[in-house]
Amino acid sequence: MKTYKALEKQFRRISAVNGALAVLGWDQSTMMPEGGARARAEQVATLSVLRHDWITDPKLGDQLNLAASDAKALDDWQRANLREMQRQWRHATALNPRLVEARTKAAMACEMVWRKARRDDDFKSFAKAFKPVLELTREVAAAKSAAFGLGTYDALLDEYEPGGRSASIDKLFADLAGFLPDFIDRALVKQARRPDPLPLLGPFPTETQREVGLKFMKVLGFDFSHGRLDVSAHPFSGGVPDDVRITTRYAEDDFTKALMGILHETGHALYELGLPRAWRDQPVGEARGMVLHESQSLLIEMQVCRGAEFLTYATPLLRKAFKGSGEAWSEANMQGIYARVKPDLIRVDADEVTYPAHVMLRYRLEQAMLNDDLPIAELPAAWNDGMQTLLGVDVPDDRNGCMQDIHWPSGAIGYFPTYTLGAMSAAQLFAAAKAQDAAILPGIAKGNFKPLLKWLRANVHGKGALLTTDELLREATGKPLGTAAFKAHLKARYLN
């Protein structure tokens, strides 16, 4: 127990450095003038190296072993905390520092090249900068594969989704792949037979959009004594659980995207804000992984806020705030706007029906690249084929094709599947919540989100990293993760 307590102290220090890095990262995206970049890079590099040194300290490894040999003295949370400490230690020590540094540098260089290459639609330049990133990512995968006894792809996936395995993803995605193409066609036909939604005509002042966003954040349960809303080029949720900072970007001619963006990030934020207070600053007090994190943003955005009940509550408020009138501002039209299906090029703009196709394509291609089954030079052709097969979309150029995302240039292979696993988890969790508390849905229609938040706190947020994702889903929904709830949700929203 003494060793375990010493470990808690050491991980509290690591958590403080993580927190400092989170604030520095938020500041960099929201507040920092461009000339601050050099100094900020020094600060972030120094703290990152420090954190790595602390977490790979051989003494820490000895303490972890000693504490594990005495794990009977620990309660469930402490034991889970020790398990999470071991997990962090394993991931950090699996790589030698030279490899970590080489990969970080290659990814930073590739990101720079990628920004320009994407703008110029210059795949060749991108490919050249991406080559060392892919090679070093393979080295990382090989090292972690050897250390964890996992396949190379799973070894990478495990970093984003602890316990995530491609064998189960393959099954889930195969199921979805059998369902979606036909479903997309049916949804498109159904949609084509209805009149198109009327456009909402602006301008919509940024300040009003912000006020509306803040109002909805508040009613959803965002605690402004523990967080903020700001602006950044790419919306994100950052900060620490005591001080969660979300961002959006506004366009004066269309409020609908910024608003839904705020609600999406609010879902992430509610997860962080609801993490177990008693375990702040400890590994077990952190979010479980990216699947559950995405599930929380998508539960709020896709399950709740694009749904009929939320729009019943929200439409009159939006109409009033933006001084709208006429048929375009009716509930039905708002639902039409927020449930459009459109097979298209860009993942981040995709609707929830076509989104899985974007993910499944990337999942297949990144595995192929990792396994050396797909040379980088052949990526554009493979991408364009895939988009044609999966969504019937012609890809006009690589900037709107295989160069659109930051993930690969930054060395993040194994991340993409968490988006769709998150969407499926969101559907399954929301279905269970509604079944377990009949007050949730009528509450949403009246702007009362307390029953929903209470359920999420008890079943997801408050669990931190106590359970695996799979255990948590079983406890909360009675079932392992499946496709049924997601399919049922899509049918209900797009075919009825």
CA-to-CA dists, residue 486 to 216, 250, 424, 425, angstroms: 25, 30, 5, 8
Active-site residue flag, 352: no
Residue 94 and residue 147 in contact, taking contact as beta carbons nearer than 8 Å:
yes
CB of residue 29 to a copy of itself, shortest distance in Å: 13
Question: Is the CB of 128 or the CB of 226 nearer to a copy of itself?
Answer: 226
Looking at 162-170, 194-202, 237-245, 429-437, which segment touches a copy of itself (CB under 8 A)?
Answer: 237-245
Q: Give the pair of three-digit tokens for residue 226.
A: 């523990």
Q: What is the size of the binding site for a copy of itself (CB under 8 A)?
A: 38
91 is in an annotated binding site: no
Looking at 23-31, 301-309, 356-364, 439-447, which segment touches a copy of itself (CB under 8 A)?
Answer: 23-31
Q: Please report where in the chains the tokens 């979309």 appear, as a residue.
A: 393
Q: For residue 15, state whether it binds a copy of itself (rule: CB under 8 A).
A: yes
Of 414, 389, 326, residue with least CA distance to 181: 389
Cβ count within 10 A of residue 137: 24
Q: What CA–CA distance (Å, rounded) separates 459 from 110?
A: 40
Q: What CA–CA distance (Å, rounded) separates 157 from 412?
A: 9
Angle, CA 26 vertex, CA 20 and CA 32 arms, to 5°: 105
Residues 43-82 close enough to bind a copy of itself by CB under 8 A: 43, 45-47, 50
CB of residue 108 to a copy of itself, shortest distance in Å: 17
DSSP codes joined into one string, 136-189: HHHHHHHHHHHHHT--HHHHHHHHHSTT--HHHHHHHHHHHHHHHHHHHHHHHH
Q: For residue 108, state whether it binds a copy of itself (rule: CB under 8 A).
A: no
Q: For residue 39, state whether it binds a copy of itself (rule: CB under 8 A).
A: yes
Q: What CA–CA distance (Å, rounded) separates 200 from 98?
A: 54
Residue 11 and residue 282 in contact, taking contact as beta carbons nearer than 8 Å:
yes
Q: For residue 31, state whether it binds a copy of itself (rule: CB under 8 A).
A: yes
Q: For residue 228, state whether it binds a copy of itself (rule: CB under 8 A).
A: yes
Q: Give the pair of three-digit tokens for residue 456.
A: 């999420």
CB of residue 195 to a copy of itself, shortest distance in Å: 43
The DSSP bridge pattern shows strands 237-240 and 227-231 to be: unpaired
Q: For residue 278, state whether it binds a copy of itself (rule: CB under 8 A).
A: no
Q: What CA–CA distance (Å, rounded) separates 204 from 211?
A: 12
Q: For residue 462, state whether it binds a copy of itself (rule: CB under 8 A).
A: no
Question: Is the CB of 286 or the CB of 405 nearer to a copy of itself?
Answer: 286
Q: What CA–CA distance (Å, rounded) separates 356 from 391?
A: 10
Residue 460 and residue 296 in contact, taking contact as beta carbons nearer than 8 Å:
yes
Q: For residue 242, state whether it binds a copy of itself (rule: CB under 8 A).
A: yes
Looking at 238-246, 321-329, 332-340, 480-488, which segment touches a copy of itself (CB under 8 A)?
Answer: 238-246
Looking at 17-25, 67-75, 157-165, 325-333, which segment touches a copy of itself (CB under 8 A)?
Answer: 17-25
234 is in an annotated binding site: no
Question: Is the CB of 274 or the CB of 324 nearer to a copy of itself?
Answer: 274
294 is in an annotated binding site: yes
Q: Give the pair of three-digit tokens for residue 211.
A: 């006020």
CA 242 to chain centroid, in Å, comes to 20
CB of residue 19 to a copy of itself, shortest distance in Å: 5
Q: For residue 24, state whether it binds a copy of itself (rule: CB under 8 A).
A: yes
Residue 206 and residue 252 in contact, taking contact as beta carbons nearer than 8 Å:
yes
Residue 231 and residue 248 in contact, taking contact as beta carbons nearer than 8 Å:
yes
Question: Is the CB of 350 or the CB of 453 nearer to a copy of itself?
Answer: 453
Catalytic pick from 84, 265, 272, 286? 265
Q: x-or-dash pattern for a copy of itself, window 187-226, by CB under 8 A?
A: ------------------------------------xxxx
**CA-based Rg of the chain, rounded to a whole angstrom?**
23
State which of residues 1, 2, 16, 435 lies at the interface with a copy of itself (CB under 8 A): 16
- Contact residues for a copy of itself, defined by CB under 8 A: 12-13, 15-17, 19-20, 23-24, 27, 31-36, 38-40, 42-43, 45-47, 50, 223-228, 239-243, 280-281
Which residue numbers belong to the known binding site?
264, 268, 294
**Residues with catalytic annotation?**
265
Which residue numbers belong to the known binding site for Zn(2+)?
264, 268, 294
